[in-house]
Structures are given as C-alpha cells and as structure tokens.
C-alpha cells in the first residue's frame, strides 16, 4: 500500500446532496475537512443521476434553502408539493465551487476502498486515487455514500428492502427531452395525477393500457414528466428495472443494460401518442443508475412508519419538519407498491438515527440513515438529504474538535450550532 497518509478532523464519503452539505457544514465549523467522491463531479443524483427536480421539504433555515438559492432553482408548484427544478449542467460547477470555497479538500474520481478501524471505532478510510491507494485518517467520518458502504465495511448492522421479502425499490435512469411544444406538452408527477389527454383519457390510465399492449417497457406503467426551468424541456422519470442487486457488479450491469434499452421505447411512446411531444428528442441522461434503496444502516434509533405517518417530534431533533410522501416504487411490478403514494406528516429526524449502532467515530446521512422501509421511502428524497447532510457534518465537526466520539457528544451543542446557522428545529 502507498505509504502516503493524511489527517483530517472530518472526512465525508460521498459527494451527493448529503455529502456536499456535510462537508461544507463541517468546514464552516472550523474542522479540517475532506470530501471523497467516486465520480468526477459533485452533486450525486442531482448531477450524475440527472434527477430533476429536487423534491421534499424541511423546516426553514437549513442548507436546503441555501442550495436552492445557489442553484437558482425554479419552484414548480404541483398537487404533489413543490418541485424545485435545477439546471443540471450548471449545478455541476456550482456544487464544486460551493465546496471548494468552503475550504474543503476535494478528492474526485476517488472511490472508498476500505475502512480503517481501531477497536469498534472508525479512524479513517483507504481510498483509490490516480496515484494508488492512500490512507486518510479522521477524528470522525460521515457516510454519505447512499449505499452505506462505509458503515457496512465498518461492521454496522443494516437492513435492505421491505420487511416482508427484502425486495428493494427499483432502479431508474432519468433523462431529459427538449423540443417539447409548450402550448400542448403536459406534465405528470405520478400515477395519481389527474392530468388528461385531449380526449379526456387520464394520462396515467393511458400509460397502464400502453404497458399492457407492450408499447411501454415491462413494469413501466407510468411516465412521470416534470417541467424544468427551460422552455421546451422536460425531465422524464419512467425507466424501471426490478430485482437487481445494485451492490454487486452483475446487478449494476444488468440494471444499466435494461434501463438504457428502455429510453428510446419511452420516447417513441411520447412521440406517437402525447400531444406536444411529436418533435421531442433526447437531450441527456444520467451517467449512473438512479438507485432508490439499498442498505439502511441501523442506528441507535430507527425512524418508524408511525413517526412519518403522525409527524413525530424528537428530543434530539436535528432536522425538523422533514416531509415527502411515502413514495414506494413497486419492488415487484409497476407503479406504486401500495397502489399510490401514501401521506406523511412533517416529522423530525433525530440525531440517534445517524449514529450506527455498535460503531463509533461514524455518522450516517442521506438515504442510508436508520429507518424502516416505509419511512425510508419518505426521507430518501433529495431535499431531505440536503438537511441530514448539514446536520451530520455539523455534528461530526463538533465531535472531532472536542475530541469525543459522535455518540458522546451532547446533542444540545449540535442543535445550538444548527440554530445559529438559521435552522428551525422546534415548533416554537
């Protein structure tokens, strides 16, 4: 192994929405911080994954607001809540500048290879750089990998998929179209959207019929069409690959191959049947799989179905009024697993859900925090991940600078720091 090593207060693994905010938050607390990203750009699903718009909401004053402003996101209000549309290409540069200007050491095209542990505590990461393997040590590590790779390699317990059979939500590759006629081109946020075609047929019903005829790919029973901040452009969330384990190479390849093959069939369907889309053409697509669900790292607290359904309040809250629908894309077929997305009441995300049970020196953020399958279907969304990243990064910096483990850190110090940053944490 290369003898090169480096020491940081905080290392953040993963440069998606949660990781970007975690790294910036840690650096702003005065911690020497590194951000490790396996791709060549930051932003994760918002850039590499072409996921547009940003969905979900949290209480005011978090980095969610800052990122929305940074990206000049356009608020497209729908019956499904607010959709914050971003320019994906501009976001690539804006995210990089955001993190760079915060003084973070950024490692691009650098996958995490292994975890360094002493006893039960994470002490650093082995990463693969263009110059070989290198060891980076830290007071605290934040896992923002989405898949919970760091936590799993550290020996943390995790669950995958729904409790009944372990099946995870399907993978998707999102893509964008241009050449849409704005005078006629519809939008559709999901299977329960009442938007109709000119003859009065509900678009969602028409999609199901087309799927049954074989004119849409297997399990693609709804074509979600989102308006963007550019005239004549739409973001399409429709491709679907079920049953692939995207934590192994064979699963990644299988899903990628199937999903790439679905894009043209979906575009042909839109051109043939949907007014305003006759002249549309493919503009771009995600350069990586859109993975909704893999490992959920079990923490000192597991966010429950009941928490999300009733708007639970938590004494150790770090993200207040997190909200999105319980949005379970069917693990075993098309559409929604429960017929339609289910309601949620704005709820708190507690510090304990970011502390992997039995592992010290580590915090989780983003979609791999601790919760049930149904709760995860709400908090996995981009807007919430931005805020959990900020919370984890702030806590990591305070713990590292105080020379204590995250578990030993007084959560009230984290709450005060977040409130100082402007985040609302309590109803009053």
Mean pLDDT confidence for 276-290? 97
Q: What is the pLDDT of residue 4?
A: 64
Calpha distance 362→354 (Å, rounded)? 9
Mean pLDDT confidence for 79-101? 91
Per the CB < 8 A criterion, the answer to whether 54 and 382 are in contact is yes
Q: What is the torsional sign of CA 287, 288, 292, 298?
A: negative
Calpha distance 421→397 (Å, rounded)? 14
Calpha distance 166→172 (Å, rounded)? 19
Calpha distance 369→31 (Å, rounded)? 23
Query: In a 3-state reduction of DSSP, which class is residue 335?
Result: coil
Quote the radius of gyration of the chain (alpha carbons, Å). 21
Pairing relationship of beta strands 112-118 and 121-129 according to DSSP bridges: antiparallel
Q: What is the pLDDT of residue 80?
A: 63
Per the CB < 8 A criterion, the answer to whether 341 and 55 are in contact is no
Q: What is the torsional sign of CA 33, 34, 37, 41?
A: positive
**Structure confidence by residue, pLDDT tens digits, 107-126:** 999 999 999 999 889 999 99
Query: In a 3-state reduction of DSSP, which class is residue 49?
Result: coil
Residues, the chain: 428
The residues, ordered by sequence, that sit 6+ positions from 413 with a Cβ below 8 Å of its Cβ are 398
Per the CB < 8 A criterion, the answer to whether 281 and 19 are in contact is no
State percent of the chain over pLDDT 70.
98
State percent of the chain over pLDDT 90.
95
* Nearest-10 Cα torsion for 150, 133, 21, 176: -90
The residues, ordered by sequence, that sit 6+ positions from 407 with a Cβ below 8 Å of its Cβ are 300, 355, 360
Q: What is the pLDDT of residue 428?
A: 78
Calpha distance 65→62 (Å, rounded)? 6
Closest residue by Cα to residue 338 from 174, 202, 190: 190
Q: In this structure, what DSSP letter does residue 46 have?
A: G
What phi and psi, each to the nearest 5 degrees, are found at residue 328? -105, 95
**Structure confidence by residue, pLDDT tens digits, 354-392:** 999 999 999 999 999 999 999 999 999 999 999 999 999
**Structure confidence by residue, pLDDT tens digits, 396-422:** 999 999 999 999 999 999 999 999 999
What is the rounded average pLDDT for all residues in the chain?
Answer: 96
Helix (H) or strand (E) holding 72: none
pLDDT of 70 > 60? The answer is: yes
pLDDT of 293 > 70? The answer is: yes
**Structure confidence by residue, pLDDT tens digits, 33-59:** 999 999 999 999 999 999 999 999 999
Q: Please provide the DSSP assignment of 104-129 as one string.
A: -EEE-S--EEEEEEETTEEEEEEEEE
Q: How many CB atoms lie within 10 A of CB 406?
A: 26
Query: In a 3-state reduction of DSSP, which class is residue 393?
Result: helix
Closest residue by Cα to residue 244 from 255, 236, 258, 231: 255
Helix (H) or strand (E) holding 173: none
The residues, ordered by sequence, that sit 6+ positions from 296 with a Cβ below 8 Å of its Cβ are 148, 158, 159, 160, 368, 369, 370, 371, 372, 373, 376
pLDDT of 3 > 60? The answer is: no
Mean pLDDT confidence for 220-239? 96
Per the CB < 8 A criterion, the answer to whether 379 and 391 are in contact is no
Q: What is the pLDDT of residue 403?
A: 98
Query: Predicted confidence band at 79 (pLDDT cuts at 50, 70, 90)?
Result: low
Query: Predicted confidence band at 1 (pLDDT cuts at 50, 70, 90)?
Result: very low
């Amino acid at each position: 192994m290369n003898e090169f090593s480096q020491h940081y207060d905080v290392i953040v693994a993963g440069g998606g929405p949660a990781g970007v905010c975690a790294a910036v938050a840690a650096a702003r607390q005065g911690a020497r911080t590194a951000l490790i990203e396996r791709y060549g750009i930051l932003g994760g699903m918002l850039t590499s994954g072409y996921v547009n718009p940003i969905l979900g909401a949290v209480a005011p004053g978090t980095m969610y607001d800052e990122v929305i402003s940074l990206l000049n996101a356009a608020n497209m209000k729908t019956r499904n809540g607010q959709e914050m549309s971003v320019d994906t290409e501009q976001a690539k540069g804006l995210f990089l500048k955001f993190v760079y200007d915060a003084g973070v050491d950024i490692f691009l095209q650098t996958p995490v290879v292994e975890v360094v542990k002493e006893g039960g505590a994470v002490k650093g990461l082995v990463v693969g750089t263009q110059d070989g393997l290198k060891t980076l040590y830290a007071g605290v590590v934040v896992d923002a990998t989405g898949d919970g790779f760091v936590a799993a390699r550290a020996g943390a317990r995790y669950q995958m998929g729904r409790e009944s059979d372990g099946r995870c939500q399907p993978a998707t590759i999102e893509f964008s179209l241009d050449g849409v006629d704005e005078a006629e081109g519809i939008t559709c946020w999901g299977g329960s959207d009442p938007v109709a075609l000119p003859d009065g047929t509900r678009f969602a019903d028409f999609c199901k019929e087309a799927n049954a005829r074989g004119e849409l790919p297997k399990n693609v029973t709804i074509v979600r069409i989102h308006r963007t901040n550019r005239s004549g452009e739409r973001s399409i969330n429709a491709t679907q690959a079920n049953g692939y384990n995207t934590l192994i190479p064979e699963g990644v390849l299988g899903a990628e191959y199937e999903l790439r093959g679905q894009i043209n069939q979906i575009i042909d369907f839109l051109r043939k049947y949907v007014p305003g889309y006759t002249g549309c053409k493919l503009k771009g697509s995600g350069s990586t799989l859109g993975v909704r669900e893999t490992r959920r790292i079990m923490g000192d607290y597991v966010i429950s179905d009941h928490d999300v359904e009733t708007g639970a309040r938590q004494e150790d809250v770090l993200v207040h009024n997190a909200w999105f629908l319980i949005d379970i894309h069917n693990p075993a077929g098309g559409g929604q697993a429960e017929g339609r997305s289910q309601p949620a009441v704005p709820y708190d995300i507690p510090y304990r859900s970011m502390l992997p049970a039995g592992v010290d020196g580590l915090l989780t953020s983003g979609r791999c925090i601790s919760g049930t399958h149904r709760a995860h279907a709400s908090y996995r969304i981009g807007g919430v991940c931005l805020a959990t990243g900020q919370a984890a990064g702030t806590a990591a910096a305070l713990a590292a600078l105080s020379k204590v483990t995250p578990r030993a850190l007084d959560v009230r110090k984290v709450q005060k720091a977040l409130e100082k940053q402007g985040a609302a944490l309590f109803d009053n």
